Amino acid sequence: MNFGMYYLLDFGLKIYLWFYCITNICDFEMAPQLQAVTEPVWLGEGPHWDHNEQALYFVSIFDETIHKYVPETGKHTRSKLDGKPTFIIPIEGKKHHFVVGLNRLVVEIQWTGEDQTARLVRTVAEVDQDNPNNRFNDAKADPRGRLFAGTMGHEYEPGKFDLKKGSLYRIDPDGSVHRLESNIDISNGLCWDLQRSAFYFADSFEYTIRRYDYDVETGSIANAKTVFKYSDHGLEGIVDGMTIDTDGNLWVANFDGRQVLKIDPRGGKLLQKIPIPALQVTSVTFGGPDLDQLYVTSASMNRGEEQLPPCGSTFRLDGLGVKGHPNVNVRLQ
């Protein structure tokens, strides 16, 4: 991307933040600072901050690429895979090894982070054999390193899916696969509050967030209940990826809503709306040396309307006044 394009993006972001300050009647110094840190991709998803490497990993599903961004140097690299990657998470104790969701497979890859150098090591698990057109969507490691991964039905047109075909799985370190939920439209969200023994999850087309009781010793979930409804707050779009801060509040990507939401799931309260200059906001994760920066992925899918830059960029939000938890690596025997 040339200098002129970066100048225009930077100017546009400044105008966006000025509008945010005016409409929220806030002091400029207290407003979050927003910056696009990568060039646009087609469908950015699955951000994972590696605290040891001080680097952000994410995927672009329809580009069939995995990505690494290093803030200290500004270096952004990618590597193409044979299929649609939907998440990338480091494997504990195996440097440069990752689990990746690839169509309906969980695979192990080796990648040093340099352009076009990833290689497939092995297949860890296969799911949804009864729905061969399904694919994985969101996934994360729970506090003990078990992989929680959800699937979704076939997308036969942009934004149109086979409904109620997805499931939520837990894949244990020994490779065993456990189906935790079924009849899911699009699996999304996934985060844990250990202090309150809670697991949060979203089926996007329900336009709600669920809370489950969570047993950290076994990885089991139970007693699902709805803790937040978009309709109660006049929100448009759907629930996409989310994370949780150390205060127990959720940070939610509002796909088709041009914003990130801060939600108190204990009382179902909408605490804050932060505008993002992209219609299709896809996911979020905390990062940075102090875990006080929020990285936000987005998409630039043309569903009848062209999504111009900075749509599809990964953004960084500073000055939120909160911190997140370190992301957990996947444990595999």
Token pair of 100 as six digits: 């990746």
Give the integer Cα–Cα distance in Å for 205 and 184. 9
137 is in an annotated binding site: yes
- What three-state secondary structure class fits 54? coil
Q: Which of 91, 2, 6, 45 is nearest to 298 (CA)?
A: 45
Beta strand 160-161 with 166-171: parallel, antiparallel or unpaired? Answer: unpaired
52 is in an annotated binding site: no
Beta strand 135-141 with 147-152: parallel, antiparallel or unpaired? Answer: antiparallel
236 is in an annotated binding site: no
Task: Reply yes or no on whether 240 is catalytic.
Answer: yes
Q: Which of 128, 138, 172, 240 is catalytic?
A: 240
Give the integer Cα–Cα distance in Å for 91 and 108. 9
DSSP code string of 208-222: EEEEEEE-TTT--EE
135 is in an annotated binding site: yes
188 is in an annotated binding site: yes
Beta bridge partners of 94: none
153 contacts 132 by C-beta, under 8 angstroms: no
Residue 64 burial class via C-beta count within 10 angstroms: exposed 0-12, middle 13-18, buried 19 and up: middle
Give the integer Cα–Cα distance in Å for 55 and 69. 6
Question: Cβ–Cβ contacts within 10 Å for residue 95, how many?
Answer: 10
Radius of gyration of the chain (CA): 18
Binding residues: 45, 135, 137, 155, 188, 240
Binding residues for a divalent metal cation: 45, 188, 240
Annotated catalytic sites, by residue?
Answer: 240
Binding residues for substrate: 135, 137, 155
